[in-house]
């Protein structure tokens, strides 16, 4: 396992589509030969920064509700989510704030390549350990995408 590479899934593992990022990580773990570290976080916050520092390449997978068709996959860069709209909250530190803080304070320790993959959720309030069908399909596509990315990292 190479600590230079990280895939982190974010979400509540008990809520149907919110668990999409968790499901991606669980599937990669089940492969048993992923060439990097795999982590799960229940929510965004500084713990994401803790796990991201010191990596060369990282992928963060999360569910989102942005009004798109359920199962839509968005691949974003850090710049895409570091706008001012990402920085305010009343209880948690947002992903945008976390990553922007990292690049402001520890630029030399943050990944040179950081991808954020968002999967549009359909239902994030039902208790379930299985995503809805459209999101499940997107989870499968995301897993393939990350396997390809990982293959290029170690090529």
Q: Enumerate binding residues for other proteins (CB under 8 A).
A: 10-15, 18, 39-47, 49-51, 62-66, 81, 84-97, 100-101, 104-106, 116, 118, 124-125, 127
**Rounded distance between C-alpha atoms, residue 62 and residue 124, angstroms:** 12
CB-based contacts of 22: which residues, under 8 Å, 6+ apart?
9, 10, 11, 12, 13, 40
Backbone angles phi, psi at 118, to 5 degrees: -110, 140
Closest distance of CB 118 from other proteins, Å: 6
Report the candidate in 85, 149, 93 with the shortest Cα–Cα distance to residue 117: 149
Closest distance of CB 155 from other proteins, Å: 28
Kindly tell me which of 14 and 151 has the beta carbon lying closer to other proteins.
14
Closest distance of CB 124 from other proteins, Å: 5
Kindly tell me which of 120 and 146 has the beta carbon lying closer to other proteins.
120
CB-based contacts of 107: which residues, under 8 Å, 6+ apart?
none
Kindly tell me which of 10 and 27 has the beta carbon lying closer to other proteins.
10
Kindly tell me which of 79 and 154 has the beta carbon lying closer to other proteins.
79
């Amino acid at each position: 396992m190479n600590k230079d590479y990280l895939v982190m899934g974010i979400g509540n593992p008990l809520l149907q589509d919110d668990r999409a990022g968790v499901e991606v990580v669980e599937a990669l773990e089940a492969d048993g030969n992923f060439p990097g570290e795999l982590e799960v976080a229940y929510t965004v916050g500084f713990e994401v920064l803790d796990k991201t520092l010191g990596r060369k390449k990282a992928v963060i997978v999360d569910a989102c509700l942005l009004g798109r068709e359920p199962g839509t996959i968005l691949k974003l860069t850090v710049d895409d989510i570091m706008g001012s709209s990402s920085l305010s909250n009343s209880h948690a530190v947002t992903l945008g704030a976390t990553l922007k803080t990292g690049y402001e304070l520890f630029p030399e320790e943050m990944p040179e390549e950081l991808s954020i993959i968002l999967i549009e959720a359909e239902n994030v309030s039902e208790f379930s350990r299985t995503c809805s069908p459209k999101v499940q399909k997107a989870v499968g596509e995301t897993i393939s995408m990350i396997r390809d990315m990982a293959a290029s990292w170690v090529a």
